Structure 1
């Protein structure tokens, strides 16, 4: 990261009972409450059609809320047009002008906002230095890689010194290796400048990697809000467990509860874990693939029906009376063979109880 700095006017964002309807019947966002603290990166995560992009566009002023209030800082911006909200947005398509040089693209918003040409150029050069493209100012977008084009789009947004910076699926056009690099760049810039960033993605790994908080959305509403670790280790329900990373969902019986701890049973195998407010009876166990122990002396009977070598680990699919589960192991030198019968147990920490759903 360079020494170039752009002033931060980071502001919090608050949604108070905000809804968005398209026509009379289509509810895109349903009465959500949300508080994004100043200087944090919050990701809106969820499947297509869950309302995350509409929520982002309401912050930007590209969609108007049907009801409720949106505040940026202490200012009610619910009815303000996009030009009066002091936010910048980085689009999925980058939206660079192909006939303009890199520096002219970065300058565009500044000149449109009334800055003189010399000051706009100086700020644009500062923005390019910040995102590691110093010396690229005279190139055309077509002469840049996808990752470099994305950085230009970020610089163009940053030089406007917005109170809130918005990202709409910013890495979806990049290959896997480049996505990892650019997301690290975005996170580093956000932390260095103390920016308020709201970031939309459907990629769970991306959300886990960059976020201070993740807002998981489902069916136009918020399913759960938490830090990446909170959502991964303690999901509220089956949807969040299965959407945040991979999770195996197995039916179990809670046979005893002692204070905050429960004893569960699956085919005679017992395991102790936090009860999470549940009482005796049927429940669902969510287990991450890395938390399954294969070849234990005690456990649930299972058979390996698929084994895949992926370089840094082995991936296994197992089948038993409980159904099928997916497990991973770091031991690639002594792989287990398809058809192997074994006992499967669970790591001491990691499995999570969820309510039984109808």
Structure 2
């Protein structure tokens, strides 16, 4: 019986630019990145940021205008899609409606030089890997959306590609099913040690599945790091606001010593990692769940008034008006004794705020 194996390879972009037609605005602008073999890396960003163009250049469906693309250390910049050892799972799944599930999975293998018996064994192994071994004789129309997605994954996996690409793979599924299928994709990736490049605009999805996230904005990389690095220490306001929600305040760095900044925020003085910033005007970001509400007049808090309090089942959400603008605060304490109109003190715990760039 054939087994699905990993031929995982690294992916590297060296100063890659993509310009369509006579446009003067690059879709991807001088991007350099490296994705290690056997890792799941997500390209995350809003529509039009360049993430899908980047994915399509890895696949060979778009050609770079400038720069180099390497897969497994081999320059593939000018190679067409048919000559790259890459498989892609499309947003639409792209299943053939007149073919059975097994025929869909076999389809790519028919053109790969395998003997008939090998094709059958690989297709069977692929369906078994995604939990659809009993569905081979069904048509795609007889499957749920999640099952169709798994067929598309099996069809890609049986080719044992060096790189597996996902283009917004969960966008056609409802919220509960999205969570289930993304867990399956991550499990298969880790089990086989696949190199996966995954495109989404859903930050929660990216945080859940990725070894690394590359956040793109306006055709360039805004930040590259692990999910925790991007959430805890965003480089700038765009990343802070795109990866989860963030409160952003103007502040002033009064002094820096040994990498630690003394920061003035209203009447408060905070001690924060300087992150390379020097004295002068600055900004800080604070996640809603990392701010605290305290009784009015509590020392070392920012005075404010609750303008809105909302119960959403698992937590409470508050909008607090302060002299520095509105703050959004979330607490899991659904019995917190605060209500709209109440004067409070907004607290900034040590792990709360972080200095950010523009």
Q: Per the shorter chain, which TM-score range?
A: over 0.9
Q: 1:335 to 1:6 in 2, by over 3 A?
A: farther
Residue 332 in structure 1 maps to residue 334 in structure 2 = yes
Instruction: Tell me the distance in 1 between the aligned counterparts of 2:305 and 2:186.
Output: 42
TM-align CA RMSD: 1.4
8 Å Cα contact 2:57/2:63 also seen in 1: yes
Partner of 2:21: 23
Query: TM-score if structure 1 supplies the norm length?
Result: 0.96
Partner of 1:342: 344
The alignment of Structure 1 onto Structure 2 pairs a total of residues equal to: 354
8 Å Cα contact 1:167/1:198 also seen in 2: yes
Instruction: Tell me the distance in 1 between the aligned counterparts of 2:116 and 2:2.
Output: 20
Alignment of 1:64-143 (within 5 A): 64-143=63-142
Residue 179 in structure 1 maps to residue 178 in structure 2 = yes
8 Å Cα contact 2:2/2:121 also seen in 1: no
8 Å Cα contact 2:3/2:122 also seen in 1: no
Instruction: Tell me the distance in 1 between the aligned counterparts of 2:274 and 2:187.
Output: 38
Q: 1:5 to 1:271 in 2, by over 3 A?
A: farther
8 Å Cα contact 2:2/2:122 also seen in 1: no
Partner of 1:211: 210
Residue 231 in structure 1 maps to residue 230 in structure 2 = yes
Partner of 1:320: 322
For residue 98 of structure 1, report the CA deviation from its aligned partner: 1.0
- The SS at the match of 2:152 is helix
Instruction: Tell me the distance in 1 between the aligned counterparts of 2:39 and 2:351.
Output: 29
Residue 287 in structure 1 maps to residue 276 in structure 2 = no
- The SS at the match of 1:129 is helix
8 Å Cα contact 2:13/2:31 also seen in 1: yes
- The SS at the match of 2:177 is helix
For residue 31 of structure 1, report the CA deviation from its aligned partner: 1.2
For residue 324 of structure 1, report the CA deviation from its aligned partner: 1.0
- The SS at the match of 1:160 is coil
More divergent stretch after superposition (281-290 vs 110-119): 110-119
For residue 325 of structure 1, report the CA deviation from its aligned partner: 1.4
8 Å Cα contact 2:291/2:352 also seen in 1: no
For residue 5 of structure 1, report the CA deviation from its aligned partner: 4.3
Instruction: Tell me the distance in 1 between the aligned counterparts of 2:115 and 2:103.
Output: 13
Instruction: Tell me the distance in 1 between the aligned counterparts of 2:3 and 2:279.
Output: 57
Partner of 2:187: 188
For residue 335 of structure 1, report the CA deviation from its aligned partner: 4.9
For residue 304 of structure 1, report the CA deviation from its aligned partner: 1.2
Partner of 1:56: 55
Residue deviations 1:117-169, cap 9 Å, x none? 33212111110110111201111111111111111100000000000000000
Runs of 4+ residues over 4 Å off in structure 1: none
Instruction: Tell me the distance in 2 between the aligned counterparts of 1:303 and 1:116.
Output: 73
- The SS at the match of 2:27 is strand
For residue 294 of structure 1, report the CA deviation from its aligned partner: 0.4
Residue 248 in structure 1 maps to residue 250 in structure 2 = no
What runs of 5+ residues in structure 1 fail to find an aligned partner?
Answer: none
More divergent stretch after superposition (154-163 vs 212-221): 212-221
- The SS at the match of 1:240 is helix
More divergent stretch after superposition (18-27 vs 255-264): 255-264
8 Å Cα contact 1:5/1:193 also seen in 2: no
More divergent stretch after superposition (245-254 vs 274-283): 274-283
- The SS at the match of 1:295 is strand
8 Å Cα contact 2:183/2:209 also seen in 1: yes
